[in-house]
Amino acid sequence: MNDSPGWAVPGPSPSDGERPGAPDGRDGTEGGTLPPAGGPKWSAEQPPAGEWSSPGTPQAPKPPQQQPQPGAGWGSYGGPQGPQGPQGGQYGYPGGPGQWGKPPAAKPGVIPLRPLDLGEILDGAVATMRTHWRTVLPITLVVATVVQVISVLVQKYTYADLAIASDPGSQADLKEALDALGGSMVALLANGFVQLIGTIVATAMLTMIFSRAVLGHGSSIGEAWREARPQLPRLLGLTLLLALGGILVVLVLLLPGILLGSIGIALVGGLAALPLLVWLALKFSLASPALMLEKSSVITSLRRSSRLVQGSWWRIFGITALTGLITAFVSAIIVWPLTAVGLAIGLADGGMAGLENGTAATGWAPLILSAVGAVIAQTITMPIQSGVTVLLYVDQRIRREALDLELARAAGLENYGPDTAAPPTGG
């Protein structure tokens, strides 16, 4: 599916600023000109641009327009006359003068092929998880289980070694304490690396599943793996590059305070690093789906993300932040009760002494119950987060590059696209 024209990058990328502005808001601007002859064309079913007018402003009469078939293209922007404004004028909306609601659009898969709003992006992510649960849930369940099993083992034995080394009543000397600390750091780094690999594999496979769901196609686990596997090394490189870049940003801003020995300057640098990291994270948030679906390199995917996000940073930030809040809330209501039960069992076994020395939280019962809650939460929330990212990428390309036309062709929709408007050629 990735080799189909649906995800092909346009020649002169409109996201580079070379595509003329579209008056219907696809590129996030108002006004502009139509594409030049020979360039990208809209579908014959696409309506003319809607006219926005304030109440009380009279409008010139419009010639009658042919009503499209239900569900074709975007529907008509020129509909029947609607309610009058306070001064006798008409309210102008993209759905037609006086019309409320969105125009109909072709929907071969989980989303309609037009610019999406917040509800449609979240609904598309949940609908994909619900419709293709036989593929989505096993991937996230296996990855979350492997990660949590390793995490439980690391926490159990690493924290126990640290507790013994730091016990003031023990006879461990400084060398033993340093050895225990070094071993614990190695174990924690190994655990973090396993989590990184698991997240990358799950993200790559989920991206392929969601991209096929947009076209109305199903996908097996084997198909998702075969499509994602060639890009996994690049996705790992992208993830490590972004992490390294974030670390360098923090170090550069903290360096003046460290060199001058000033806690105040270091604190200011740390506070300045936070918004900068958020801005960079959103700027490159679409690099992962661009890399996977366009089969591009790491640097190219970063550039693509930057251009797609440009002009829509606040919108993407709002959708991403809301998705994070939703998934955090879902995770909390699953993990916290199980963690509390596990801690209660640990206190019942070790009493208050276990709470004081930290062994109540590192017993098998609290660790296992917390891990079970984390597995359930990640199995549910990981597809939602990945789906929202993929659908944001699709939405931005629809707005800027008319990707809906290519997706409609890839989905096999008839009478959709510029070819339907071309006159027949004589043989």
Q: Tell me how crowded residue 270 is: count the other CB atoms within 10 A of its CB.
A: 13
Tokens of 378: 């990640």
**Alpha-carbon dihedral 172, 174, 177, 182, rounded to 10 degrees:** -150
**Residue type for position 150:** I
Residue with tokens 């940073």: 313
Q: Is 156 exposed, middle or buried (0-12, 13-18, 19+ CB in 10 A)?
A: middle
Give the pLDDT score at 178: 62
Rounded to an integer, what distance in angstroms lies between the CA atom of residue 371 and that of residue 243?
25
- Neighbouring-strand partners of residue 84: 90
Rounded to an integer, what distance in angstroms lies between the CA atom of residue 46 and that of residue 51?
15
Rounded to an integer, what distance in angstroms lies between the CA atom of residue 109 and that of residue 127?
10
CB 290 within 8 A of CB 304: yes
Give the pLDDT score at 192: 82
CB 94 within 8 A of CB 25: yes
> CA-CA distances (angstroms) from residue 192 to 43, 158, 295, 398?
48, 14, 27, 36
State the DSSP code for 3: T
Q: Is 203 exposed, middle or buried (0-12, 13-18, 19+ CB in 10 A)?
A: buried
Positions in the chain short of pLDDT 50: 1-3, 12-25, 27-100, 164-166, 169-171, 420-427
Maximal C-alpha separation, the chain? 96
Tokens of 200: 């990358």
Give the pLDDT score at 173: 56
